[in-house]
Structure 1
Amino acid sequence: MLRRLTIRDFVLVDRLELEFQGGFGTLTGETGAGKSILVDALAFALGERADASLIRAGSERAEIGAEFDLDQSPAAAAWLREHDIDSQDGLLLRRVLDANGRSRAYLNGSPVTQAQLREVAEGLVDIHGQHAHQSLLRGDAQRALLDSHARLDALLAEVATAWRQWRDARNRLDAAAEGIEALAAEREQLDWQLGELAALGFSSEEWRALNDEHKRLAHAASLGEGAQFALQVLAEGDAACEAQVARVASRLDGLSEYDPALSEVAVLLQSAQAELSEAISALRRYANRVELDPQRLTDVESRLEAVLDCARKFRCTPDELPALLARWQERLAVLGDAADLAGLSERVEAAGKHYGELARRLSASRASAALALGGEVSQVMQQLALGGGCFDIALLPIEGGSAAGLEQIEFRIAGLAGNESRSLAKVASGGELSRISLAIQVVTSQAASVPTLIFDEVDVGIGGGVAEVVGRLLRELGAERQVLCVTHLPQVAARANWQWQVSKVSEAGQLRSRVSTLGAEARIEEIARMLGGIEITPITRQHAKEMLQLP
């Protein structure tokens, strides 16, 4: 439920803070005073698009804040929990629009995107604009209203996904059938290339191993000579290091008996002698392994040349050959699937069957919802001076279906211009259309889950007794949820539980909108003004008082 709306520098409003009540409230005032500006400000706070023209002249930015409690908004509360936004004390939406047309949005102080703002808003407020009846003439709007009323959005999304999968499967089959010769030629080329690489039997690990082995074999003589030289110096020559170090270590060890300071040096030399001995042993093992092997060197060089020839043929480096082999194998598998027309046909059939099952479920749900909604709207129409009129929702089959299901939705009316049921766009006059739209909105709003409903001059084109019925219907709706109606009809305003008046004032040469909360006496004056215009007589005031006293 909406608790507070704060507006700063938005169109004609400089500073305004409104405290909302529950039940049914109305917003009245002279034409052009700015009644709909408040609705536009709330819509902006809830994520509607906006541009810099909405900023009040002379200001750098506009800012709107809307405060809600979430007791009746489980969907919004759940969204906030999922996004780790604390909502224990309710929800504050804040949106700022700067002079460059950029806007920023916040939920309880946390920055969010405009899309996220709209997601939360869907569970908070439902706004019915004064031109809503015009959209009812469009088939897509009629379908969206029926699906939303019947809560079929999730099933509709499944149908759309299944449709796209079916379409993609058909496209793959068509492409395969048209390009079967080209696919065969590509497969033949890939078979030959894969045969070449498979015959090579090459891997990245082998390439590194071959290069290491080639370096070792190519320098075997130098390696052997180096090992022998090292052994000669360290262990086998007349002045070999190993024997020299051993003698020095022994001599110092004996002298350390006279001066312990030499003991540490002797220990270090003994350790060096041990490591020197290990190094000599390792050199002897290596020297015994190193030998000239011209044949193996020839074999390794031949293998390296074969790999390099293959890499040159396929215009890549040797390291890239394994990855190239993997890509070709994947492509060949894809071509195999593409060439398998029977397999592709089976996939098309399976995808079409899946789509059909979901679409038929959607159709059945729509048919049931259309019947119920048609009956409820027809009942309300009888109260809106549309007696004899019958509202009907037709499901018109679409050959082959679509992403939106197997049918188009068409709103129809019977009894207003003959008994035959005909399209709403061809039957209803402007005044009738606004009343039918209002009937639809009242019925669909009763089934909606949002706690706050805004009606922005949806009663345009009606008056008299019909206006009284509209006021009564909105008051009944206000018993279940919070309802705010921008209206110019005294019959509607008089039925409200509370009423605001919007006026336009001139301050320092600038026009500004002001909102006043009307008490009992002020409401009589405002209703009288709406009834009688400029000249308000005692009789008009008495009439206004009587209207406000209606149950």
Structure 2
Amino acid sequence: MLCQLSINNFAIVRFLELDFRAGMTSITGETGAGKSIAIDALGLCLGNRADAGCVRPGAEKVEVSARFSLLDVPLAKRWLEDNDLELDDECILRRTIGSDGRSRAYINGNPVPLAQLKALGPLLVGIHGQHAHHALLKTEQQLILLDSYANHRLLLDAVSAAYQRFRTNEQQLLELQRSQQERISRKQLLSYQVEELNEFGLAEQEFAELEQEHKKLANGSALMEACQNAIYLLSDGEESNVDSLLNKAISVAAEVETVDPQLASVSNMLNDALIQVQESCSELQRYLDKLELDPEVFIQIEERLSKAMLLSRKHHVQPSTLYQHHQQLLQELASLDSDESRLQEMEQQLSASRDNYLAQAQKLSQSRQRYGKELEKLVTESIRELNMPKAKFVIAVEFNEQLMTLHGSDNVEFRVSTNPGQPLENMAKVASGGELSRIGLGIQVITARKVATPTLIFDEVDVGISGPTAAVVGRMLRSLGESTQVLCVTHLPQVAGNGHQHMYVAKQSKGGMTETSMVPLDHEQRIQELARLLGGDIITDNTLANARELLNA
């Protein structure tokens, strides 16, 4: 629950430090005194938007901090633990807004983005404003309220996840369908190109080999003549050749080696040279023996080279990369074939994801119908207590499988009949301003009982209510305060008198500056304030007696 609120330089507040207790706290004050100022300041700690305009004139910044006890608030404690922001059984939220409009947020002393305040806030405080009943006229708000009452978080998460899967599958299928004609045209072209390349059947290194073989055959005569000439010079020359010259040199070296053994290495090198020459001659002869200058083979190679170059020009690639291009086209064709089968798979997946969504939405709808019956009974009883004895309230939940949203497939509508014989109709068509206030208040109190929020704030939700009805409202809020901390800003003495404690808001002007204060009232001060609410500025013995009676009741 909220234990302490500290406010510095916020609007017309210079400094306030407020301590709060369990139960129902009534907050009253004169018109224009700023009864909602503390709630507005608390809203900053909960992540509400703010700008430099909220800084008190002459001050550098607004600073607001709120301290909460987390005893029996497991959801908030778990959230803090998950975000590494825990601090025993307390939580301190702090917010500053500079005169330049810059805002900073802190949780337990740790700087955090504003989004984290907004995420944590609803786990600590629920605020019901004076215009909340007008929001109830909107069907989307009625749906949110019903889901909040029924605690449909897990069911809503399941529906939301199923909806997102369905939409993802739907988008993927649409993309495949949009490109289907393009794929068909591309597949026809690829099939022709691949068939042509398959028929040619160029191997991976074949083009380089063809080029080399073509070059060899084109220069076959020159190769043969060069090899024969080399053999002649090495060994077949009649007058002189390398072989015979080396043999003579070896003989000379052998003779001089006998004279000086240091020349033995020369003999070895000459013998090695002779071996190399003889092996070279043998290799050249073998090459000549295998060298075939078949004109038909040359023509075949030339034709295949020409075909390869023609295809490479046709496909706008280099001849050396024609094989790789062929493989790429094969892969693309296979991919297009798989896209066709994927199209069928996606159609099946879309159908399955739609069925799954509708199954999850149906579960949610059934739960909404069950809790809708429960809530409509409680609201009917509540508004009958609020001086609408013949009223009837119904929550219509209609499942529509064509309506697929993140929040399910239901049309939810709050319908009411305020007088006997009057048909049930949409609440906006039937209820008057005062009736709408009572219905809205009844709904807010009932749903507040069900939602596990440790602190509930009712900011002038009793507008349009008076007399005996106001007394019932006061008793409702007090009863709610028995299990939940309730802060109630009100102008009705019947409501204020039901508070377990009472705070008074006043405004003073001094030296051209206005300042708001907020103080707790003791028993006698409460009687004076209730008497003021009952009789206005003139307080008589009768109004004081009525005030005592209200407080004692």
- Provide the TM-score with structure 1 as the length reference: 0.76
Given residue 522 of structure 2, which amino acid in structure 1 is its aligned partner? Answer: G
* 1:151 equivalent in structure 2: 151
Are the equivalent residues in 1 in contact too, given 2:62–2:96 (CA < 8 A)? yes
- Select the residue among 495, 501, 506 that pairs with 2:504: 501
Trace 1:383-462 onto structure 2 (pairs within 5 A).
383-398=385-400, 400-403=402-405, 404-416=407-419, 418-462=421-465
What is the total number of aligned residue pairs between the two structures?
466
* 1:367 equivalent in structure 2: 369
Distance in 2 of aligned mates of 1:82 and 1:314: 58
- Deviation per residue, 1:205-248 (Å, 9 max, x gap): x9xxx9xxx9xxxxxxxxxxxxxxxxxxxxxxxxxxxxxxxxxx
Given residue 6 of structure 1, which amino acid in structure 2 is its aligned partner? Answer: S
* 2:350 equivalent in structure 1: 348
Are the equivalent residues in 2 in contact too, given 1:187–1:335 (CA < 8 A)? no
Structure 1's 423 and 197: CA in aligned 2 closer, same or farther, altered over 3 A?
farther
* 1:17 equivalent in structure 2: 17
Given residue 503 of structure 2, which amino acid in structure 1 is its aligned partner? Answer: W
- Deviation per residue, 1:255-284 (Å, 9 max, x gap): xxxxxxxxxxxxxxxxxxxxxxxxxxxxx9
Are the equivalent residues in 2 in contact too, given 1:172–1:338 (CA < 8 A)? no
2:517 aligned counterpart, secondary structure: strand
Are the equivalent residues in 1 in contact too, given 2:460–2:489 (CA < 8 A)? yes
Distance in 2 of aligned mates of 1:326 and 1:66: 68
State the shift of 1:406 in Å. Answer: 2.0
State the shift of 1:147 in Å. Answer: 0.9
Structure of larger gyration radius: 2
Between 400-409 and 121-130, the greater mean CA deviation after superposition: 400-409
Are the equivalent residues in 2 in contact too, given 1:26–1:493 (CA < 8 A)? yes
- Deviation per residue, 1:93-123 (Å, 9 max, x gap): 0111123333221111112122211211121
Listed as ranges, the gaps of 5+ residues in structure 2 are: 213-275, 292-300
Trace 1:226-241 onto structure 2 (pairs within 5 A).
none
State the shift of 1:181 in Å. Answer: 2.8
Trace 1:251-262 onto structure 2 (pairs within 5 A).
none
Structure 1's 309 and 150: CA in aligned 2 closer, same or farther, altered over 3 A?
same
* 1:335 equivalent in structure 2: 339
- Deviation per residue, 1:32-51 (Å, 9 max, x gap): 11111211111111111222
Distance in 1 of aligned mates of 2:159 and 2:349: 17
Between 366-375 and 30-39, the greater mean CA deviation after superposition: 30-39
State the shift of 1:188 in Å. Answer: 3.4
> What percent of counterpart residues are identical?
40
Between 418-427 and 18-27, the greater mean CA deviation after superposition: 418-427
Distance in 1 of aligned mates of 2:393 and 2:84: 45
State the shift of 1:428 in Å. Answer: 0.5
State the shift of 1:161 in Å. Answer: 3.0
Distance in 2 of aligned mates of 1:339 and 1:453: 53
- Deviation per residue, 1:271-299 (Å, 9 max, x gap): xxxxxxxxxxxxx9xxx9xx999x9xxx9
State the shift of 1:60 in Å. Answer: 2.3
Distance in 1 of aligned mates of 2:327 and 2:480: 68
Between 382-391 and 451-460, the greater mean CA deviation after superposition: 382-391
- Select the residue among 474, 477, 485 that pairs with 2:477: 474
Are the equivalent residues in 1 in contact too, given 2:396–2:414 (CA < 8 A)? yes
Distance in 1 of aligned mates of 2:411 and 2:476: 30
State the shift of 1:313 in Å. Answer: 3.3
Are the equivalent residues in 2 in contact too, given 1:126–1:453 (CA < 8 A)? yes
Are the equivalent residues in 1 in contact too, given 2:418–2:431 (CA < 8 A)? no
1:130 counterpart = 2:130: yes
Given residue 340 of structure 2, which amino acid in structure 1 is its aligned partner? Answer: G
Are the equivalent residues in 2 in contact too, given 1:190–1:332 (CA < 8 A)? no
Are the equivalent residues in 2 in contact too, given 1:499–1:518 (CA < 8 A)? yes
* 2:524 equivalent in structure 1: 521
Distance in 1 of aligned mates of 2:77 and 2:511: 44
Structure 1's 310 and 379: CA in aligned 2 closer, same or farther, altered over 3 A?
farther
Are the equivalent residues in 1 in contact too, given 2:65–2:92 (CA < 8 A)? yes
Given residue 372 of structure 1, which amino acid in structure 2 is its aligned partner? Answer: E
C-alpha RMSD over aligned residues? 3.8
Structure 1's 489 and 347: CA in aligned 2 closer, same or farther, altered over 3 A?
same
Given residue 525 of structure 1, which amino acid in structure 2 is its aligned partner? Answer: Q
State the shift of 1:334 in Å. Answer: 6.2
